Amino acid sequence: MKYDSLDVIGIGNAIVDVLASADDAFLVRHEMTKGAMMLIDEAKAKLIYETMGPTLVSSGGSAANTAAGIASLGGTCGYIGKVNDDNLGMEFRHDILAAGVDYRIAPATSGPSTARCLILVTSDAQRTMNTYLGACVNLRPEDIDEAFIRSAQITYLEGYLYDPPLAQKAFHKAAEIAHAAGRKVALSLSDSFCVHRHRDAFKQLVDLHVDVLFANEAESNALFGTTTMRDCIAQLRGVTEIASVTLGPTGSLIVTPEDVFEIPPTDVDRVVDTTGAGDLYAAGFLYGMTSGASLIESGYFGSMAAAEVITHMGGRPQLPLRTLVPQARERVLQER
Amino acid sequence: MKYDSLDVIGIGNAIVDVLASADDAFLVRHEMTKGAMMLIDEAKAKLIYETMGPTLVSSGGSAANTAAGIASLGGTCGYIGKVNDDNLGMEFRHDILAAGVDYRIAPATSGPSTARCLILVTSDAQRTMNTYLGACVNLRPEDIDEAFIRSAQITYLEGYLYDPPLAQKAFHKAAEIAHAAGRKVALSLSDSFCVHRHRDAFKQLVDLHVDVLFANEAESNALFGTTTMRDCIAQLRGVTEIASVTLGPTGSLIVTPEDVFEIPPTDVDRVVDTTGAGDLYAAGFLYGMTSGASLIESGYFGSMAAAEVITHMGGRPQLPLRTLVPQARERVLQER
């Protein structure tokens, strides 16, 4: 098959999010850790669903959110992730295609149902995630099309993909193809618990294959066993060309072997739901990198895209993000 | 069966909303009338879905939104509407129960699938709705439980329910039971095209059975064939005890045989999606009426609930509306 040249291909768990508001007592009752992603089985998913509040259903998945964000910014993007051919799977498929993302992975026609993430949003806008991986466990190395990966400037992998065992192999295959073709590989560490689960494998992957690393403070410290940002930065400099560390409401850092750039957040009136904040930061940053922007400008694009997604429930952009790009460019000119 | 005493029972088309942003050209291409509700068949629903943007899925249905709103305000509410026992039907059922609404109508186990409304939200925050009625056509007079209706202070009917033919009978049955029990009947006119489709039937219903009427300007003028608010008000006074006419961003009027009260809107930072604005206005107003508030105060509750729902995509409240009641009360004290 022939492919157009793409800016980014995202590889991740193809998930439909089911979001509801909840109070802290709900999290305690279900033994959830606020802000984390917990893996659950289908029975537990049913149990949580039955007790959670009225829901909004929105396609999600970390790398898929990033892919949708890049497309919304005006970049060209592909996505690899596995759904089942059930209703939720068809919804995921509709939404990623409708976002303008190149998505060609056939749904599984048997086996587990499409993955769901039950997300509880507390009044502090934190999101606590419970993921039933379902059909995601069927993503295999065979799903990685060599020509597709070669077509993209950057192959972007989400750390969550280390949870389904076969996907790790798909991951490595993709990274090897990308590098053999002189392309770049980016990784998001996804979640500090996920880092703890797969720390050695992540360290190996970062050493071998990662050119651009996305993480928040907790995740990057978890990777290196560091406790301060200073120590963490020293480690990051040794292993990747570019690392972006998001710091929640205080913005982000871009770390290169030579520099550390502080990127301010983009202010919003009210933070409603932080689902997708990191994913959309990555979208803005990768859009910048692949469209010839400077690292600082790319960071501002990240802040801007993250700011849009936290103003509403759900991890996908609701505005065409490309309409916000001129403002972000203007800010860079004024502030730097 | 025994029932607790309820403030309000809503009867309507049980619908799951599928919302996406769209531009005006999309509406033109599909021959949609901006701001209106159009009935479509399942094939057309599939066609529109395939071409619309990434979606958010949220339970909807006019009277169901109102019922969820009343429960969110702290009122006690029941709901009657028909779904199929498919995925969307189970989602509707989950969401209305999770909202705290008393909902006991068994899903249909055969026949058409659960109703969907494909909603296109344009950048001016207008919503344009395309409804496949599906299982709603199975709502029958047998679904109206006499004791349930008698248990509620107000039985609230949505005008959209005149589209599925058998539901009209269910409607009249409910109104008769309510009045025989000395209860009140409220009606929302729903949509000006819907009024045109069923004008004579609506006029008869209003004359016979409606104590509280909800409409916007276009709908109330459509009902009476009037063209000015002044003429329309004169007509409203002749037929109902209380009429509320919503005027979009300029607020609403409460019309009684003696008075016309002007109710200001509640300001919001940004209007995102007007889906559910009228439904939530009715929720606030009915919550006020059934909790001993004055008509003016009830109007302010209506404005307040409508203001919350237009700040986000989807027609159901995302905040516990009861937390906003004290502010609305305070405003009444300051302004009246």
ipTM associated with this complex: 0.94
Does residue A89 sit within a domain? yes
A316 and A73 Cβ atoms separated by less than 8 Å: no
Mean per-residue pLDDT pooled into runs of 10, chain B (336 residues): 85 98 97 96 97 98 98 98 97 98 96 98 97 95 96 97 88 95 96 93 93 96 95 93 95 96 96 97 98 97 98 97 97 94
Cα A304 to Cα A297: distance, rounded to the nearest angstrom: 10
Q: How does pLDDT run across B101-127, given as a tens digit for each residue?
A: 999 999 999 999 999 999 999 999 999
Residue B326, in any domain of the structure: yes
Indicate whether B43 belongs to any domain: no
> Cβ separation of B98 and A57 shorter than 8 Å?
no
Whole-number average pLDDT of chain B: 96
Yes or no, beta carbons of B313 and A312 under 8 Å apart: yes
The answer to whether residue B171 is domain-embedded is yes
Residues 293 through 312 of chain A touching chain B, CB cutoff 8 Å: 312
B316 shares contact with chain A (CB less than 8 Å): yes
Q: A123: domain range?
A: 6-335
Alpha helices in chain A (DSSP H): 24-29, 42-51, 62-73, 87-98, 146-150, 165-180, 192-197, 199-209, 217-224, 229-239, 277-290, 295-309, 325-335
A1 located within any domain: no
Q: For the domain that residue B247 is a member of, what is the CATH number?
A: 3.40.1190.20
Terminal alpha carbon distance of chain B: 44
Which among A21, A56, A319 has CB closest to B56?
A: A56
User: Would residue B126 count as lying in a domain?
Assistant: no
The pLDDT tens digits for B161-191 are 999 888 889 999 999 999 999 999 999 999 9
Per DSSP bridges, beta strands A252-255 and A260-263 are antiparallel
- Please give the tally of structural domains in chain B: 1
A139-151 pLDDT, tens digit each: 999 999 999 999 9
Contact A318 B270 (CB under 8 A): no
- Between chains, do B314 and A99 touch, taking CB under 8 Å as contact? no
Q: State pLDDT tens for residues A261-284.
A: 999 999 999 999 999 999 999 999
Identify whether A126 is part of a domain.
Answer: yes
Does A215 reside within a domain?
yes
Identity of residue B205: L
